[in-house]
């Protein structure tokens, strides 16, 4: 049994270790004034070093439409930085910095998390001087899907009650062993105790693609669909009241080759229930191009299981 004093000491040690790997990001955007003249607007964000080569991950939205980005180490030193790449669909971006004695974080395994687990969020809240802000909480839920104001669906997120404030975007969410298990990304305005982080396994996968290829290889099923609701199910006689109704199958694509057809209702991927398109997208994005997934569908009232080899999302 861990005492409160031992827990406090453990948290303090984790923070001491992690702050050396956390960087502050200050950005400048040009936005039109009321007279339609460009006015520089400052923004702040957070990032953390992931390898000895100086690669830093942060949120893609932190670097969207910026004219200038400055990166500061924990000691206040501004270091040279360049953008390696960014992926708005997962809200992950990678920068590369130059500096001496850079200390990367230790990455955990976000597939092994549990609801109720203690976590620590570190970030540059509101751009306040005096070092990063630290908050403490628990994992409230796993596998959350949310749509942001920027449009893309963020899938499979970690929900936490550790306070995440403006400026925390891109900062690490860590466990009590000091391992990074997520990257802070979003809050729900006017809601208390609800913040979200991108699982570190996804961040790592996206970062590797951006560093190696300059873009992200995203798994592709090859269908267009809509959410099934009880009213739709009754009207069309679908036989199920929730799932993802396949409206169109891309001819020659992975789903087509596996035998999916328009009118099928996808109810599970790899045995995990699909309640709608957000669930479907989130579960597909957890896979990799070339992997085989079991897709459970309802076709004319009958349950079927099809094996689909996922492709790579084409660029049109």
- Nearest Cα to Cα of residue 59 among 168, 157, 201, 208: 168
61 is a catalytic site residue:
yes
Neighbours of 279 (CB within 10 A): 23
**Contact indicator for 169, 123 with CB cutoff of 8 Å:** yes
d(CA 223, CA 12): 49
| Active-site residue, from 21, 55, 87, 91 | 91
**DSSP three-state, residue 291:** coil
70: three-class secondary structure by DSSP: strand
Q: Radius of gyration over alpha carbons of the chain, in Å?
A: 22
Annotated catalytic residue within 21, 55, 61, 110: 61
Residue tagged active-site, from 140, 169, 264, 279: 169
91 is catalytic: yes
Cβ neighbours of residue 13 closer than 8 Å, sequence gap 6 or more:
178
CB 221 within 8 Å of CB 149: no
The two counts, helices (H) then strands (E), for the chain are 5, 22
What are the contacts of 29-33 at 24+ separation with CB within 8 A? Answer: 29/65, 29/66, 29/67, 30/67
CA–CA dist 59, 198 (Å, integer): 9
Q: Which residues participate in catalysis according to the annotation?
A: 61, 91, 169
């Amino acid at each position: 049994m861990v005492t409160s004093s031992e827990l406090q000491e453990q948290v303090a040690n984790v923070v001491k270790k992690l702050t050396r790997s956390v960087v502050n990001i200050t950005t400048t955007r040009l936005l039109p004034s009321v007279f339609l003249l460009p006015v520089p607007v400052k923004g702040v964000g957070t990032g953390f070093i992931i390898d000895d080569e100086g690669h830093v991950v942060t949120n893609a939205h932190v670097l969207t439409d910026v004219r200038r980005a400055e990166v500061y180490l924990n000691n206040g030193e501004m270091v040279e930085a360049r953008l390696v790449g960014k992926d708005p669909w997962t809200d992950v971006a990678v920068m590369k910095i130059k500096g001496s004695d850079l200390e990367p974080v230790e990455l955990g395994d976000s597939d092994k998390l549990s609801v109720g687990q203690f976590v620590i969020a570190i970030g540059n809240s509101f751009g306040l001087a005096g070092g990063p802000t630290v908050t403490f909480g628990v994992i409230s839920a796993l596998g959350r899907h949310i749509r942001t104001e920027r449009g893309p669906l963020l899938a499979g997120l970690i929900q936490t009650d550790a306070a995440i404030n403006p400026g925390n975007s891109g900062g690490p969410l860590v466990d009590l062993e000091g391992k990074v298990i997520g990257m802070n990304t979003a809050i729900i305005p006017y809601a208390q105790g609800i913040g979200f982080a991108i699982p570190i396994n996804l961040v790592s996968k996206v970062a590797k693609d951006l560093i190696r290829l300059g873009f992200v290889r995203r798994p592709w099923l090859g269908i267009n669909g809509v959410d099934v609701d009880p009213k739709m199910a009754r009207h069309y006689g679908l036989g199920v009241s929730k799932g993802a109704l396949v409206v169109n199958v891309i001819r020659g694509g992975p789903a087509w080759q596996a035998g999916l057809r328009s009118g099928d209702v996808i109810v599970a991927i790899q045995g995990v229930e699909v309640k709608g398109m957000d669930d479907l997208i989130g579960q597909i994005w957890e896979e990799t191009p070339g992997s085989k997934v079991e897709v459970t569908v309802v076709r004319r009232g009958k349950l079927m299981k099809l094996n689909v080899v996922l492709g790579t999302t084409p660029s049109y």
